[in-house]
Amino acid sequence: MTTTAAPRRNALDRVVLVTRTVLALAFLTSGTLMLTGVIAMGDLFAEIGAPPWLRPTLGALQIAGGLGLLVPVLSGAAAIGLALMMVGATVAELRVGGSPVAALAVLATTAALAVALRARTLQLLRSVRPGTHDHRARRST
C-alpha cells in the first residue's frame, strides 16, 4: 500500500465503523419499539393488509440485524438483510401514499454499507459453504 492509500483506507474504515454503529442503534431502537408495540404502526400495517404477526416479526428481525451490524464477521450479511427490509418499508410507504424519503435514505445508507462490507460477506460465505474448507490438514489412513 502506498503512503497515501493507507490514510484513505483508515478513514474509510472509520466511516464504515461509524455507519455500522449508527445504523445498529437505529435498527435496535426501532426493532425494540416495534416488537414491544410502542410504535403506533398498527394502522400502517392494517392499511397495507399485513397480518398481525408481521409487526413483531419485523421488530425481531430489526433487532437481529442491528446486533449483526455490531459483529464484524456478520455485519455485511446483516446490512444486506436490513437493506432488503428497507425495500419492503419503501414499498409499504408508497402503498399507503406516505413519503418514502426516510425509508429510501435508510435503504441507500444500508445498501452502501453492504457494498463497503462485501469482502466480509464473501469471507462469511466461504466459511460456511460446504466443500470450501481446506482438507489437506487431514491425515489419510
Contact 31, 61 (CB under 8 A): yes
Does 140 fall in a domain?
no
Q: Is residue 1 part of a domain?
A: no
Q: Show the domain range for 56.
A: 10-121
Q: Give the separation between CA 85 and CA 23, rounded to whole angstroms.
A: 13
Count the neighbouring beta carbons within 10 Å of the beta carbon of residue 77.
19
Q: What is the pTM of this model?
A: 0.81
Q: Which three cell numbers stand for residue 43?
A: 394502522
Q: Tell me which residue of 31, 56, 30, 29 sits closest to 45, measured CA to CA.
A: 56
Tell me whether residue 141 is in a domain. Answer: no
| Residue 76 counted as domain residue | yes
Give me the pLDDT at residue 12, please.
86
Does 126 map to a domain? no
Question: Is residue 79 a part of any domain in this protein?
Answer: yes
* Whole-angstrom distance, CA of residue 107 vs CA of residue 86: 5
**Predicted confidence band of residue 101 (pLDDT cuts 50, 70, 90):** very high
Whole-angstrom CA distances from 138 to 130, 133, 141 are: 16, 11, 9
Q: Kindly state the average pLDDT of the residues 52-63.
A: 92
What's the mean pLDDT when you consider all of the chain?
86
- Residue 100 covered by a domain: yes
Sign of CA dihedral 101, 104, 106, 108: negative
88 within a domain of the structure (yes/no): yes
Number of domains present in the structure of the chain: 1
Mean pLDDT of 122-140: 66
Residue 105 has pLDDT above 50, yes or no: yes
